Amino acid sequence: MSKVVIIGGSGHVGTYLVPRLVEAGNEVVNVSRGRRTAYSSNAAWNQVRSIALDREAEEQAGTFGRTIRDLKPDIVIDMICFKLDSAKHLAEALKGQVSHFLHCGTIWVHGPSVAVPTTETTPRNPFGEYGIQKAAIEAYLLDSARRDGFPATVVHPGHIVGPGWNPLNPAGHFNPQIFTVIARGAELVLPNFGLETVHHVHADDVAQVFVKAIGRWSTSVGEAFNAVSPAAVTLRGYAEAMYAWFGTKPRLRFLSWPEWKAAQASGEDATATLEHIARSPCHSIAKSERLLGYAPRYTSFEAVCEAVTWLIGEGIVEPK
Ligand SMILES: NC(=O)c1ccc[n+]([C@@H]2O[C@H](COP(=O)([O-])OP(=O)(O)OC[C@H]3O[C@@H](n4cnc5c(N)ncnc54)[C@H](OP(=O)(O)O)[C@@H]3O)[C@@H](O)[C@H]2O)c1
C-alpha cells in the first residue's frame, strides 16, 4: 500500500482517479479547499482523508511544499499546478522525499498542430500564458528527473469530458445551447470549413493514465504521456455525429472566421472557439499505449454523448 496525496482531487479527473487509487489499495489523502465534492458519488471516498487548505494562500506564505511533505506521502499527484514557480516550490520540498511525483499538464503545451498526430516528442511551441507555463513546468520537471533523479511523470489530457459539466461542443466552445440546436434539427453555423480539430478525453481515461503511470513506475518516471481519446474529431464531423445521435438531419452552414466571429452573441464563446481551433489539437496515444498499456474506454464521441445525456437529464439541453 502506498500513501498517495492528490492535490485537487475533487474535480473532473479526481472524481475518477481517487476511487481508482482507493480500489487499488492505496491510502489516499485529498488536498483541496473543501468547496467542491466529486461529480459522482462513490463509496471509496469514505476511505479518503480530506485536508482543507488553499494552495495559493499557502504558497504566498511559503508553506505549501512543507505542508505536503509533512503528510509523508509516497506518491504526490499535483492536479492543479499552473505556474513554474509553484512547481519549483513543491518539487524542491519533495526532492528525496517521494517515490513518484505526477503532474497534470495539458495538450496546450503545444501551439498550432504541425505534423499530426502530435506526439510527446514534438517540439513545444505554446502560445498563451496557460500553455507557456505548463510547458515550462513540464520542461522543469522532466529536467529535474534527468539531472536530480526527481521521480516526475507528466500527463497531458485533452479536453476533459464527463457527466456533470459542459463538454466542448461542435462549435468549439462550451455553451450547451449548441446541443439543443442540434437536437432540434436547427441550423448550426461553423467557422471556416468545419475541418479544424478538437481532441476530447473522458475524465476516467485520464485517471487510467495516471493509475497506469503509477503502476509502471520505472517506465513512466522522467516521461510525459498524452491522455486523449483514440482520435481527434473535426468540428464538422463532430456536429454531424451529434445530429445523427439525436436522430436529426445535419443542417450545417459555414462562414469565414471574421464573419463567424461577428455573428456570435457571446464574445466568450468566440474566444473559446478561437482558443481551440487556433491549435486544432490532434494527439497520439501510441506512447501511452505502448509504455503504459493505456486502453481508452471512450472514443471522443462516446465521452461527449455521456456528458450530453447528463445535460439532457438536467434539463440543460432540451431536445424538444
Ligand atoms: N478541463 C480540461 O479540459 C483540461 C484539459 C487539459 C488539462 N487540464 C488540466 O487538468 C488539471 C485540472 O484537473 P481537473 O479538471 O480534474 O480539476 P478541476 O475540475 O478544475 O478541479 C480542481 C480541483 O482543485 C481544487 N482546488 C482548486 N483551487 C484550489 C486551491 N487554491 N487550493 C486547493 N485546492 C484547490 C478543487 O477543489 P476546491 O474548489 O474544493 O478547492 C478541485 O478539487 C489542470 O492541471 C489543468 O491544466 C484540464
CA of 281 to the centre of ligand 1 (A): 21
Q: Give the Cα separation of 126 and 118 in Å (integer).
A: 13
**Cell 482543507 maps to which residue?**
52
pTM over cut 0.85: yes
* Alpha carbon nearest to ligand 1 atom 8, residue: 106
Max CA distance (Å), the chain: 59
The pLDDT confidence band at residue 1, using thresholds 50, 70 and 90, is confident
Q: Residue 300: count other Cβ atoms within 10 Å of its Cβ.
A: 28
In contact, 283 and 117? CB cutoff 8 Å: yes
* Percent of the chain's residues with pLDDT above 90: 99
203-247 pLDDT per residue, tens: 999 999 999 999 999 999 999 999 999 999 999 999 999 999 999
CA of 54 to the centre of ligand 1 (A): 12
143-152 pLDDT per residue, tens: 999 999 999 9
72-106 pLDDT per residue, tens: 999 999 999 999 999 999 999 999 999 999 999 99
pLDDT at 279 over 90: yes
The pLDDT confidence band at residue 320, using thresholds 50, 70 and 90, is confident
Cα 2 to Cα 22, 151, 153, 290: the distances in Å are: 10, 15, 17, 25
Name the residue among 206, 189, 81 with its Cα closest to residue 135.
81
Q: What's the CATH fold of domain 3-160+200-227?
A: Rossmann fold (3.40.50)
> In the chain, which residue ranges form alpha helices assigned H by DSSP?
14-23, 55-61, 64-70, 84-94, 129-148, 177-183, 203-215, 217-220, 235-246, 257-263, 267-277, 286-287, 300-313
Indicate the top mutation candidate among 33, 63, 83 to test ligand 1's pocket, ranked by most ligand atoms within 8 A of CB: 33
Site residues for ligand 1, CB cut-off 6 Å: 8-14, 32-36, 54-56, 79-80, 104, 106, 157, 159-160
Q: Give the Cα separation of 257 and 74 in Å (integer).
A: 49
Task: Please report, for the chain, the start and end positions of each structural domain, with discontinuous segments joined by +.
Answer: 3-160+200-227, 164-199+232-281+298-313
